[in-house]
Amino acid sequence: MLTRNRKIGLGLAATGFVADQALKALVNGPLGLESDGDQIVLTSVFNLTRTSNYGVSLGLLTADSDAMRWMLVALTGAIALVVGVWLLREKKLGDILPLAMILGGALGNIVDRIRYGHVVDYADLHFGTWRPFLVFNLADALISVGVVIILARSLLIREKPNLETAGTPATEI
């Protein structure tokens, strides 16, 4: 059943997906960043630098053949499916929203890999010559932030067992 929270989550996933694809269309089109290395300097710490990512996170599992490309599409598609099912099983908005971020980002990168054979990256955060991240895109940011939120929630938020429902009176410790 699509509860209010799940609808909000699916809306966030769709918004993230559309925003990611719109930014990539802007980079590939009107901004003219068509080839790897094309760059627009926006500030002293942030550039738009076009790169093609043939792998997954941090360039791992690089698809150097058409077969590998489609295996990555299948793998990331399966992960997106699992995240989508997980999202639909959750009830709390705090659990749904990070899953929605991951889903929207994953779908954005999957569409790139299907359309271009690689993922379009463009966000280049740097401090002088030091780059804390590889060049990334909005989809990557959504996935990363969603994963960090899930990890933080799993480590910091623990549900207290309700001892009264188990037939034992609750006592304070």
Residues annotated as part of the active site = 121, 140
The burial of 36, by beta-carbon neighbours within 10 Å (0-12 exposed, 13-18 middle, 19 or more buried), is given as middle
Give 119: exposed, middle or buried? Use CB within 10 Å, 0-12, 13-18, 19+: buried
Within 10 angstroms of residue 51's Cβ, the number of other Cβ atoms is 22
How deeply is 57 buried, as exposed, middle or buried, from its count of CB atoms within 10 A (0-12, 13-18, 19+)?
middle
**Spatial contact of 119 and 112, defined as CB atoms under 8 Å apart:** yes
Reduce the DSSP state of residue 122 to 3 states and report it.
strand
| Alpha helices per DSSP H over the chain | 4-28, 66-89, 93-116, 138-156
